[in-house]
Homo-oligomer: A and B are copies of this chain.
């Protein structure tokens, strides 16, 4: 979901951006019109997240999936496969597991902790890294199961790496705790098609010679994300979203806004007899709130879910099905979701419960 004001501004400028007489979809990425767009987006991101100067900000293509390979290759890649380095991944669900699986092509992946035995309904205790770990990887917010790392693991001198795709800019984040943060744009930042990578300089220049150029951080750093044609339109929309966040009061305001929405929804679920949140309280996401019918009968449950989704859609509430891999229901309450949207959902849930 994107702020309506952002979409309206984009629509107003779609045929002619600024004084260019061209659409942002048409201007040259090497021209003077695009430079302020990408530099402005980087500058706003640095300001909002308080990113120190020894971290680079990259605007790349290929989504989180590309970073699942780029992270091990750039931070821990080696010239010959037999010298593979060790890295730690914590298994908190599908996205962490996919990242670990992809990394396994390039590094020895160790998974010392997992919440799989609890259906991923909590964040597991995070053991300390081994001294020889090249990095320590967590998925900061788990969209499918609705968990979030409320307390970051202590990794000492081992760089902490995180996929923050689904929670970036939802609240303040201490960038200095991380060696690398990446985030696909499509949750809180803008349209699908751009991934932001924030990487500390000391771990950003070690890609082996066989690294595809497009996966090589060193190249993108040197070329300021303009090594090849960037996704100009996505970066333009990201800039508008960042401006909207700044004008709304920055990340402190986002945190207040998102905490209020999440508290309202979790309270509703915790007070319900028909519905429940499957997630342990200490691990709950601010962004993704899965919920299920609190009943045993699988057939009845499936029918109720179907009826819930149907009636919700009629009431104008879409995208409430749980992820296809886990089923159930899920409300995604990203930055752009207004508190009124959450209140409307709560009214609907309460009404559904009364009539069920």
**Chain B interface: which of A123-131, A173-181, A190-198, A262-270?**
A190-198
In the bound complex, what is the Cα–Cα distance between A186 and B163 (angstroms)?
29
A227 in contact with B29 given A193-B193, A215-B212 (CB within 8 Å): no
Instruction: Find out whether the CB atom of A62 lies under 8 angstroms from the CB atom of B62.
Output: yes
**Cβ proximity bits A1-40 to B, threshold 8 Å, 1 near / 0 not:** 1101001101110110000111101101111000000000
Interface: A157 (CB within 8 A): no
Instruction: Find out whether the CB atom of B81 lies under 8 angstroms from the CB atom of A232.
Output: no
Task: Give the residues in chain B near A215, CB-CB below 8 Å.
Answer: 212
Task: Give the residues in chain B near A29, CB-CB below 8 Å.
Answer: 192
Question: Contact partner of A63 among B25, B192, B229, CB < 8 A?
Answer: B229
Of the candidates A7, A29, A231, A234, the one having the most CB atoms from chain B within 10 angstroms of its own CB is A231
In the bound complex, what is the Cα–Cα distance between A324 and B227 (angstroms)?
14
A218 to B: closest C-beta gap in Å:
14
**Cβ proximity bits A54-72 to B, threshold 8 Å, 1 near / 0 not:** 0000000111111011100
In the bound complex, what is the Cα–Cα distance between A354 and B31 (angstroms)?
30
Question: Contact partner of A15 among B8, B21, B319, CB < 8 A?
Answer: B8
A98 to chain B: closest residue by CB: B213
A62 in contact with B61 given A14-B10, A31-B319, A234-B193 (CB within 8 Å): yes
Task: Give the residues in chain B near A10, CB-CB below 8 Å.
Answer: 14
Question: Contact partner of A69 among B2, B73, B214, CB < 8 A?
Answer: B214
Instruction: Find out whether the CB atom of B11 lies under 8 angstroms from the CB atom of A15.
Output: yes
A104 to B: closest C-beta gap in Å:
10
In the bound complex, what is the Cα–Cα distance between A255 and B26 (angstroms)?
22
Instruction: Find out whether the CB atom of A214 lies under 8 angstroms from the CB atom of B62.
Output: yes
Number of this chain's copies in the assembly equals 2
Question: Contact partner of A102 among B1, B7, B213, CB < 8 A?
Answer: B213
Instruction: Find out whether the CB atom of A232 lies under 8 angstroms from the CB atom of B192.
Output: yes
A10 to chain B: closest residue by CB: B14
A350 to B: closest C-beta gap in Å:
23
Which A190-224 residues sit within 8 Å CB-CB of chain B?
Answer: 190-194, 209-215
Question: Contact partner of A212 among B14, B212, B234, CB < 8 A?
Answer: B212
A182 to B: closest C-beta gap in Å:
13
A21 in contact with B192 given A2-B26, A324-B30 (CB within 8 Å): no
**Cβ proximity bits A148-188 to B, threshold 8 Å, 1 near / 0 not:** 00000000000000000000000000000000000010100
Task: Give the residues in chain B near A8, CB-CB below 8 Å.
Answer: 15
In the bound complex, what is the Cα–Cα distance between A356 and B15 (angstroms)?
35
Interface: A109 (CB within 8 A): no
Closest 8 CB pairs of A and B: A193-B231, A25-B191, A69-B212, A65-B228, A11-B14, A61-B61, A192-B229, A193-B193
Report A's interface with B, CB cutoff 8 A. Answer: 1-2, 4, 7-8, 10-12, 14-15, 20-23, 25-26, 28-31, 61-66, 68-70, 73, 81, 102, 105-106, 184, 186, 190-194, 209-215, 227-234, 237, 316, 318-319, 324
